[in-house]
Amino acid sequence: MKASNRSRKNLISLCLATGLSLGTGQVLAQEMDHSQMQIAPETSVPAAPKTDATEEKPIPAPTSTDPHAGHGVTMPKQKVPTTQQVDHAAMGHDMPMPVAPTESTDHSKMDHSAMGHDTKPVAQPRTPIPAVTDADRAAAAPPSDGHPAHDNSIHHYLLLDRLEGWDADPGAGTAWAMQGWLGTDLDRLWLRSEGERVDGRTESADLEVLYGRSVAPWWDVVAGVRHDFNPGGSQDFAAIGVMGLAPYMFEVQATAYIGQAGQTAARIEVEYEMLLTNRLILQPVVEVDFYGRNDERRGIGSGLSTAEAGLRLRYEITRQFAPYVGIVREQAFGRTADLRQAEGEDSNDTRVIAGFRIWF
């Protein structure tokens, strides 16, 4: 009897223990907080496809599985909060989020000085620019046909380029070379003259009167007459040529002549000024004469007649006046040299000269 009562108590205790364990498990299953299990929410982003090196086929990405599969318990799906519903303050970020400006933002209330802009208002001119008047427009208009241009003004220029003397074995001598003009910038009347005297006797002298017309910047075409006083008596030529400033600042004069009895001639002169200082100037000069026919009375042979090369160093005391010293060599060629030797003269001559240069 005691044994049956004891068995009955054990059975009742077992039943109670079984029922209590079942009830407790169901309650725990219902109250389980899955948020503390650190299970990542289900996402729909597929993994990058992988390829098999042998079959060159994409390897399918593994599918997501339910972490509660096999538990035998169906859990309700939790709603994943969107970005707008996430409370970053509760997550411990504690950082201010940038706020995009809207159309209703009032920038006038912002303190720009605290932002480092430190802008200053642009100062307005004290005197405003006056409006353009009819008198201003008339003053800016080009001159009419009745208004004279500046290139129509009459000017003049006279240059005594060389007035020099020397003392050599044949005798003391003097020489000159001058040119001048009168007119406008486009049209001018030119005067040119060269000559030489030895022992009080005029060896050579000529005078040219030419009309010059500007045809290009720094270049004139000239035409006129030339009169030779010596040697061998006077004779006249018609002259035409060019004069001006060649490239690299070479001053050039080239003139052709047609004279009496069919005589022809040409003269080319080239000079250059080298500025050693603002006032000290070295001037090389080369002059060459050609003739078309022999003229024994004047001691002239056909072809290249004479050539003269000089080197003069001058100092400009003023721009209008400059003394100089130099050396000059003259050489006769061909029939001209033969005629000079027949007269007892040298075919070449070298002399040291001194003179001055002046212009008005």
Six-digit token string for 150: 């500046």
Provide φ and ψ at 214, rounded to 5°.
-75, 125
Provide φ and ψ at 356, rounded to 5°.
-150, 160
**What range defines the domain where residue 344 resides?**
152-359
Residue 164 lies in a domain: yes
Residue 251 lies in a domain: yes
Residue 69 lies in a domain: no
How far is the C-alpha of 221 from the C-alpha of 216, rounded, in Å? 9
Of 160 and 30, the one with more pLDDT:
160
Residue with tokens 């090369």: 309
Q: How far is CA 168 from CA 173, 174, 231, 333, 353, in A?
A: 8, 11, 21, 21, 10
Q: How many domains is the chain built from? A: 1
Residue 159 lies in a domain: yes
Q: What is the pLDDT of residue 131?
A: 87
CATH assignment at residue 286 = 2.40.160.40
- Give per-residue pLDDT as tens, 114-123: 565 555 666 6
Residues 6+ apart with CB under 8 A from 67: 39
pLDDT > 80? residue 181: yes
How long is the chain?
Answer: 360
Overall average pLDDT of the 123-132 stretch: 77
Residue 327 lies in a domain: yes
How far is the C-alpha of 245 from the C-alpha of 271, rounded, in Å? 10
Residue 255 lies in a domain: yes
- Give per-residue pLDDT as tens, 43-84: 444 444 444 444 444 555 444 445 455 444 455 555 544 444
Among 97-106, 127-136, 316-325, which range has the highest average pLDDT?
A: 316-325
| Confidence band, pLDDT 50/70/90 cuts, at residue 17 | low
Residue 42 lies in a domain: no
pLDDT > 70? residue 149: no
Residue 209 lies in a domain: yes
Give the predicted TM-score (pTM) of the model. 0.59
- Give per-residue pLDDT as tens, 316-341: 999 999 999 999 999 999 999 999 99
